[in-house]
Amino acid sequence: MRRRGRLLALMTGVLCALGAVAGIAHADNPIVQHVYTADPAPLVHNGRVYLYTGHDEDGSTYFTMKDWRVWSSADMVNWTDHGSPMSLSTFSWAKQDAWAGQAIERNGKFYWYVPMVNRSTGRMAIGVGVADSPTGPFRDALGHPLVENGEFDPTVFIDDNGQAYLYWGNPNLWYVRLNADMISYSGGPTQIPLTTAGFGTRPNGGNRPTLFEEGPWVYKRNGLYYNVFAAKCCSEFIAYSTSTGPTGPWTYRGTVMPTQGSSFTNHPGIVDYKGSSYFFYHNGALPGGGGYTRSVAVEKFAYNADGSIPTITMTTAGPPPADTLDPFVRQEAETINGESGIETEPASEGGMNIGWIENGDSVKVRNVAFGAGAKSFTARVASASSGGTIEVRLGSATGTVVGRCTVPGTGGWQTWTSVSCPVSGATGTQDVVLRFTGGSGYLFNVNWWQFSA
């Protein structure tokens, strides 16, 4: 049941020590700390960033991946866990390898293009999940692969004229023109010429003369088309090319993120959100992390005046908040900036809850706007044991306690009740830590929380 909590509690201590030494006030990267994530694919929709990722299994010694995950944020620092709305079992024809994909919205539906091994052929093929919500659940749109040529890593893009394109490939690079239904295409797969002028020169290239390896991410900005990709192997770095058209010819433009971190792969994703640009990637920064146990991170950046992408370096700090968090509306407990020890699971009341909570575990949210102040705190809780206490602290897990809520035993881990307690001293804009205390073993679950003004 409890997969990685103790390890991540250790991580929190390590990061706190690093902060004391290096002056880092917080460590927001990786942005998800309670489960391994990989291959980020961000999507901006209705004022939120939705992040679609792969999921590396704990202790993997290969790319052992069975499902995909969804997260979202309104401020780029607090991320809500939406669980796993799509897995290999969604596709009856899939055998294994739930690898890197990307989702896009069109006409009120969300299409998630993902590669898997086709059970019938033993080759990599690309399927399409479709949903009515960005968080799913997703269903197989076709009942069979959309395209199959043994290659993978799809990226999807809709041009200004409404024409959609699906690109994918390793070791080659392919595209098809998707029809408006997003689950069929016109013509056949077309191979993009991998020239050194278009994709750079690989040192000692052999049968791969260019830097292109895998993981393309295609988008358009100010009339210019960008193809950002994982370059060379191994270890990979992130490079990019540009073009005046969606299918090329491409011109190699250089490095986005040099080889760094403790994963020998990387995978790009770029979006603009609330007036700023963000670059998503993965590394092996969590305890136990590496090339097969990766974690998604994000950096804020600004394009150069000529539209070129600057060189971006991995950080532990991550981007600054893009907005404040409103404590006076219901906030999901699985909306997290940092954590120690917790896990998440589907909640019987819908969404997800945090659980596997033991004495001393905690969750943190950043940039909480209390304004003139909060008077009380309410949490939705469940406990099959004797419960415990939620300490509401400001700043850190050792910060000032402004409230304490007693959580009773409720008779079950999904038997929910609401508890409230007075709050004093929560004013202005603060980071908030909910620290959980009690006896031995698992204490209680939390579904959501809310302050009153």
What's the pLDDT at 18? 33
Residue 7, pLDDT above cutoff 60: no
| pLDDT, average across residues 427-440 | 98
CB 309 within 8 A of CB 301: yes
| Residue 49 token pair | 């960033």
Rounded percentage of the chain residues whose pLDDT exceeds 70: 94
pTM: 0.94
At 176 the three-state DSSP class reads strand
Average pLDDT over residues 27-44: 96
Q: What is the mean pLDDT of residues 199-226?
A: 95
**Taking residues 103-125, what's their average pLDDT?**
98
- Given a contact cutoff of 8 angstroms between Cβ atoms, the answer to whether 266 and 238 are in contact is yes
pLDDT mean over 236-261? 98
Neighbours of 206 (CB within 10 A): 6
Strands 237-243 and 86-87: unpaired
CB 154 within 8 A of CB 168: yes
Same fold: 25-301 with 331-452: no
pLDDT > 90? residue 336: yes
pLDDT at 15: 37
What pLDDT score does 272 carry? Answer: 98
Local confidence band at 205 (pLDDT 50, 70, 90 cut-offs): confident
pLDDT: which is higher, 141 or 26: 141
Q: Supply the pLDDT for residue 207.
A: 86
pLDDT on residue 147: 98
Q: Which of 28, 39, 153, 339 is catalytic?
A: 39
CATH architecture classification, 331-452: Sandwich (2.60)
Would residue 75 show up in a list of annotated catalytic residues for this protein?
no
Domain boundaries, the chain: 25-301, 331-452
pLDDT for position 2? 40
pLDDT at 188: 94
Each residue's pLDDT tens digit, 265-309: 999 999 999 999 999 999 999 999 999 999 999 999 999 999 999
pLDDT on residue 12 = 39
pLDDT per position as a tens digit, 58-102: 999 999 999 999 999 999 999 999 999 999 999 999 999 999 999
Torsion sign over Cα 414, 420, 424, 429 = positive
Gap between the terminal Cα atoms of the chain: 38
Domain boundaries 25-301, CATH class: mainly beta
**Tell me, what's the pLDDT at 206?**
79
Region of 261 (left: φ > 0; alpha: ψ -120 to 50; beta: rest) is: left
Q: Is the pLDDT of residue 11 over 70?
A: no
Report how far residue 172's alpha carbon sits from residue 192's, in angstroms, rounded to the nearest whole number.
8
Reported as a single tens digit per residue, the pLDDT across 337-375 is 999 999 999 999 999 999 999 999 999 999 999 999 999
Identify the pLDDT of residue 270: 98
- Between CA 177 and CA 392 the distance in angstroms is 53
Given 153, 214, 339, 391, the catalytic residue: 214
Contact 97, 63 (CB under 8 A): yes
Pairing of strands 331-332, 376-383: unpaired
- Residue 323 falls in the annotated catalytic set: no
Burial class of residue 313 (count of CB atoms within 10 Å of its CB; 0-12, 13-18, 19+): exposed
Taking the alpha carbons of 432, 438, 441, 444 in that order, is the dihedral positive or negative? negative
Rounded to whole angstroms, the Cα distance separating 199 from 241 reads 6
The pLDDT of residue 16 is 37
Tell me the pLDDT of the chain averaged across its residues.
94
